[in-house]
Amino acid sequence: MAEEKEYLSIPGHVPVKEAAAMLGLSEERVLQHVRARHLPSRKVDGRYMIPTQAVEEFQRRPHGRIRTSPAPWRVYRAGARVHSLQVEVRLRPGKEQALEERLQATLQQQQHLFPGTMQRYISAGEENPEDISILLIWKDTELTDEATLQRDLEAFKNAFADLLDWEHARYITKRALIHT
């Protein structure tokens, strides 16, 4: 066993197993990155050794197609307009973990979909994570009636009432002039 440790010890390099631990990936996923040449490596006696610096600088590539140029500005044809509702609300003190868990459950169970929306975002402030923004975006051609929107918003508020301070929430409605 001591011989194997010495064999795997190459200054400035780590074996696949260690690279996987450093990156939080499986060993198989690291090998896929090595084979795809996303991670440089040396093969020593049938084992891949990866430069430590390459592992530290490695950035996972996002899934799907990467845009090579920014999306152009546009307006919808046939007079359709894009609308948004932004809700600014504060997270109650000490509820960060509970919010994360509730959002995970919402994601897994596909709850609070706000029919007709084309995009939905729930964001936390970069500097103040307790500042939560909920952004709903839809085309007016797919906009639900006001009663349905209010019912869905109330259901969302009730589901998060113990975590978010709805009493002091701000509601901002807007109409897009141009968009991507």
In whole angstroms, give the CA distance from residue 178 to residue 124. Answer: 25
Q: Report yes or no: 163 and 100 within 8 Å, Cβ to Cβ.
A: no
Q: Which residue has the higher pLDDT, 158 or 29?
A: 158
Mean pLDDT of all residues in 117-144: 93
Yes or no: is domain 77-175 CATH 3.30.70.100?
yes
User: Residue 65 has what pLDDT?
Assistant: 74
11-57 and 77-175: identical CATH topology: no
Domain ranges of the chain: 11-57, 77-175
Mean pLDDT of all residues in 7-16: 82
Instruction: Specify the DSSP class assigned to residue 112.
Output: -
User: Residue 1 has what pLDDT?
Assistant: 43
Torsion of CA 124, 138, 116, 106, to 10 degrees: -10
Mean pLDDT of all residues in 113-137: 95
The rounded percent of the chain whose pLDDT value lies above 90 is 61
Classify domain 11-57 by CATH architecture: Orthogonal Bundle (1.10)
Q: Which residue has the higher pLDDT, 23 or 79?
A: 23
In whole angstroms, give the CA distance from residue 17 to residue 172. Answer: 50
User: Residue 5 has what pLDDT?
Assistant: 47
Structure confidence by residue, pLDDT tens digits, 38-97 = 899 988 888 899 999 999 888 766 666 777 788 899 887 777 889 999 999 999 999 999
Contacts of 79 (CB under 8 A, 6+ apart): none
3-state secondary structure of 52: helix
User: Residue 61 has what pLDDT?
Assistant: 65
Could you tell me how many residues make up the chain? 180
- Which of these, 89, 85, 84, lies nearest to 124 by C-alpha position? 89
Mean pLDDT score of the chain = 89
